Amino acid sequence: MRSHYCGQVTDALLDQDVTLCGWAHRRRDHGGVIFVDLRDREGLVQAVIDPDVPEAFSNAERVRNEYVLRVVGRVRRRPAGTENPNLPTGAVEVLVRDLEILNRSEPLPFQLDDDDTSEEVRLRYRYLDLRRPVMQERLRLRTRTISALRGFLDEHGFMDIETPMLTKATPEGARDYLVPSRTHPSSFFALPQSPQLFKQLLMMAGMDRYYQVARCFRDEDLRADRQPEFTQLDIETSFMDEQAITDLMEEMIRAMFASVLGVELPNPFPRMPYEAAMQRYGSDKPDLRIPLELTELSDVMADVEFNVFAAAAQDPKSRVAALRVPDGGKIPRREIDGYGEFVGRYGAKGLAYIKVNDSAAGRNGLQSPIVKFLPDEVLAKILSRTGAENGDLIFFGAGTTKVVNDALGALRVRVGTDLGLMNREWAPLWVVNFPMFEWDEQAGRWNALHHPFTAPRVDDPAEVRADPAGCLSRAYDMVLNGTEIGGGSVRIHRPDMQSTVFDLLGIGAEEAAAKFGFLLDALKFGCPPHGGLAFGLDRLVMLMAGAKSIREVMAFPKTQTAACLLTQAPAPVTEGQLRDLNIRLRRTP
C-alpha cells in the first residue's frame, strides 16, 4: 500500500514518485492550496494538494486531524525560505496527485502535542497517547534495548527457555496473584514473582546457560513506582563463579549501551563491598554521579560533651558521620533549613552543620551552633578527615546507623543535584559482599537479605550456623545512577547447605518439604554449581529513556490501584464462572 515511510522522504528521493500512508497530523489551507503534515511511525512529511488535481483536492478538503490517508505524489524541493530545518524531511514536500481517505477520525479527546494531559486521560486513551512521538520513541528504545540484550545472550550460548506462568507460590515474599484451578477444585496456581526455581532446575537439567525475558507478578500495594506485572531479564549459568558472571553481565550492559545509546560505560565497572557503600554513601545503591561522600566520625566523637554525638558514637548500632559540601558555604540559611526538613523524612532529628569560613583561624573560622560543644582537636580532625576547605559546608548526622545512612545518603543526592555537582551521565557499579542474613526484630529470626537460595561465601554449613550475623553471601547487585537495575547471586547447590539456610530462616523441615520439596530433591541428583541474576527491564529502560516512571516505558501500564483504565480491567464475572472455579465472593464490607 505504500512505497516509503513518511519520515524517510528526504531529498534523496527528489523527483521520485512515492506512495505514503499515515495520519493527518495537521492540515493548513494557504493561498488556495492545502498542506497536510502526514505522520507515521518514522516521522512527518508535508503533502501539498493543489486545486488543479480536483479529485485529490476535494478529498483533501474533507480531511481533519488524525484522518488516515494514502497519498501518491512526487517529491520536490520546498520553495526557498519555506524549509523546516527541524524536520529530517523539512527540505522537501510531496506534490500530491492522488489522495484517498482510508478512515476518518472524530476530534480526539486531547491534543497529541499537549504535554500536560492528565495521566488518567492518557491511560484511558492509551492508543492515542502512544501516537505521540515521545511515546513511540520510548517503546522503540525498549524494543531496541531488549533486542540488543538478546543478541548478546544468543551469541554467548544462552538458551531462551520459557518457564510456566501457572505455577506454585514462589518464595520472593511478596503477595502472590492466585489463579483458581477448575480441574483441581479448591487448589490454586500462583503467577510467578520470578522464575527463580525454574531457572535453577534448568541448570540441574544441564541447560548450562539460560535466559528469558520473563513477565513477573507481585500483588503489592503500589507505593513508589511499581506495577503488578513487570518484566525481568532473567539469567542463569552453570560452572561460573561470581567474578565470571558479573564480568559477563557488565560486558553485556556495556555492549547494549554502546549499540543502543552510543554511550561508552566504564570498563570495568567499579566493585564496592556493601559495607563500604553504606559507610561512604549511606546506601547499598549509591549514585556515583555525585562526587560527595560521607566521612566516618564515630571514633572522633565518642568522648565529646555534645551528647547527641557522643551517645551515637558509643552505640555500636549508631554512627556519627559528616557530609562535606565543597563550596557549600554559599547555600542560604533558608535552604539549609529546607534540608533539615528533608532529612526529617528519613527519621533524622535535626541537621547540624558547620560553615568553614577560615580554616586557618581555628574555631573562630567555623560558623555553627555546635562548634561550642566540640573541643579543638575534634574540630581539627573533622576538617582534616573531611578535607574541608574554606567556603565549604559540612553537614552532620548522628543517630542509629539506619537513620544516619538514610538521611545523609538522601541528602548527598539532593544537595549534589541542587548544586549541579553531577559530573557524568552514567555511573554503573557492582555492590558485592552483602551480608547473608539480617535480623528481623519483630519476627525474632533471621531474614535472607537476598533470597533463601543464595549461597554463603563459606562452604561449610557449620560455619554459617556458627555466625549468621557475620556471614557474607555470594550476591551482587548492579547499580546504575543510584538505582538497582539488576541483582543476583551464586546459588546453593548442595542439599545440606540449603537445609541449613532454610533452618536459620525459620523454615522448618516440614514447611521446606511442602514448599520446596522438589528443589531439595533435585539438589540430590547432581546439581551443578550455578548462579545468575535478573535485570529489571522496565526500570533499566526508564533510566535510558530519561523517563520519570516505568509507566512511561510500558505500552499498557496499570494505575496505582492495579487497574487498566483502557479496558476497564479487572471486571465482574458471571456466577457461572465462579461456580466452575469452585469459589464464591465474600460479602463486601
Q: What are the binding residues for ATP?
A: 218-220, 227, 484, 536-539
Rounded Cα distance, 395 and 328, in Å: 10
Distances 282 to 129, 322, 410, 413 between C-alpha atoms, Å: 39, 11, 8, 11
177 sits near a second copy (criterion: CB under 8 A): yes
Q: How far is the CB of 197 from a second copy (least distance, A)?
A: 8
Selected binder of a second copy within 53, 91, 174, 207 (CB under 8 A): 207
**Grid cell digits, residue 211:** 535466559
Q: Which of 12, 442, 525, 548 binds a second copy (CB under 8 A)?
A: 525
| Residue 174 binds a second copy, judged by CB under 8 A | no
User: Is 522 an interacting residue with respect to a second copy (CB under 8 A)?
Assistant: yes
For residue 180, give the C-alpha cell. Answer: 483458581
The b-or-e profile of 275-285 (16+ CB within 10 A means b, else e) is: eebbbbbbbbb
Based on CB atoms, which residue is closest to a second copy, 181 or 447?
Answer: 181
Least gap, CB of 311 to a second copy (angstroms): 41
User: Under the criterion CB under 8 A, does residue 57 sit at the interface with a second copy?
Assistant: no
DSSP secondary structure string for all residues of 256-311? HHHHHH-----SSPPEEEHHHHHHHHSSSS--TTS---EEE-HHHHTT-S-HHHHH
What residue has cell string 582534616? Answer: 384
Question: Of the candidates 62, 215, 424, 465, which one interacts with a second copy according to CB under 8 A?
Answer: 215
Closer to a second copy by Cβ: residue 238 or 283: 238
Residue list 130-149, contact with a second copy (CB under 8 A) = 130-131, 136, 139-140, 142-143, 146-147
Q: Applying CB under 8 A, which part among 129-137, 367-375, 396-404, 450-458 lies near a second copy?
A: 129-137
Contact call for residue 494 and a second copy (CB under 8 A):
yes
* Contact flag: residue 93 with a second copy (CB under 8 A): no
Q: Does 77 bind a second copy (CB under 8 A)?
A: no
Q: How many CB atoms lie within 10 A of CB 110?
A: 16
Per DSSP, the three-state class of 327 is coil
Stretch that binds a second copy, among 173-181, 273-281, 404-412, 498-506 (CB under 8 A): 173-181
223 counts as binding a second copy under rule CB under 8 A: no
Q: Figure out which of the listed residues 18, 48, 198, 383 binds a second copy, where binding follows CB under 8 A.
A: 198
How many Å from the N-terminal Cα to the C-terminal Cα in the chain? 57
Question: According to the binding rule CB under 8 A, does residue 362 interact with a second copy?
Answer: no
Q: Is 441 in the site for a second copy (CB under 8 A)?
A: no
Distance CA 291, CA 277 (A): 14
Residue 334, interface with a second copy (CB under 8 A)?
Answer: no
Quote the CA–CA distance of 467 and 463 in Å, as a whole number: 7
Among 28, 77, 182, 345, binds a second copy (CB under 8 A): 182
Q: Binding residue for a second copy (CB under 8 A) from 16, 111, 187, 384?
A: 187
CB closer to a second copy out of 181 and 400: 181
CB 102 within 8 A of CB 68: yes
Residue 244 sits in the site that holds a second copy (CB under 8 A): yes
Residue from 28, 41, 156, 349 that binds a second copy (CB under 8 A)? 41
Could you give the CA distance from residue 520 to residue 514 in angstroms, rounded to a whole number? 10
Helix, strand, or coil (residue 151): helix
Q: How far is CA 41 from each of CA 188, 445, 463, 546, rounded to the nearest angstrom? A: 43, 55, 60, 21
67 binds a second copy, rule: CB under 8 A: yes
**CA dist., res. 243 & res. 474, Å (int):** 10
What distance lies between CA 6 and its chain's CA centroid? 33
Of 159 and 361, CB closest to a second copy: 159
CB proximity list for 425: less than 8 A, separation 6 or greater:
263, 289
Site for a second copy in 273-332 (CB under 8 A): none
Nearer to a second copy, 57 or 188 (CB): 188
Near a second copy by CB under 8 A: residue from 134, 258, 263, 555: 555
Q: Does 562 bind a second copy (CB under 8 A)?
A: yes
Q: Which residue of 150, 226, 402, 414 would you call a contact of a second copy, by CB under 8 A?
A: 150
- Name the nearest CA neighbour of 329 among 392, 388, 382, 371: 392
- The C-alpha cell at 283 is 546506601
Shortest Å distance, C-beta 504 to a second copy:
22
Strand, helix or coil for residue 58: helix
Region of 83-91, 191-199, 369-377, 382-390 interacting with a second copy (CB under 8 A): 191-199
Q: Of 65 and 400, which CB lies nearer to a second copy in the complex structure?
A: 65
If you search the block for the grid coordinates 528533608, which residue do you land on?
Answer: 342
455 neighbors 492 (Cβ within 8 angstroms): yes
Q: Is 580 in the site for a second copy (CB under 8 A)?
A: yes
Residue 208 touches a second copy, criterion: CB under 8 A: yes
Using CB under 8 A, which of 241, 296, 305, 467 touches a second copy?
241
Written as nine digits, the cell of 500 is: 541449613
Is 349 an interacting residue with respect to a second copy (CB under 8 A)? no
Q: Is 439 in the site for a second copy (CB under 8 A)?
A: no
Phi then psi for 500, rounded to 5 degrees?
Answer: -60, -45
Q: Does residue 110 interact with a second copy by CB under 8 A?
A: no
Binding site per annotation, positions for L-aspartate? 172, 218, 450, 491
- According to the binding rule CB under 8 A, does residue 118 interact with a second copy? no
Q: Which is nearer to a second copy, 412 or 530 (CB)?
A: 530
Q: How many CB atoms lie within 10 A of CB 362?
A: 12
Cell of 56: 485529490
Q: How far apart are CA 443 and CA 568, in angstroms?
A: 39
Least Å distance between CB 139 and a second copy? Answer: 6
- Tell me if 26 contacts a second copy by CB under 8 A: no
108 binds a second copy (CB under 8 A): yes
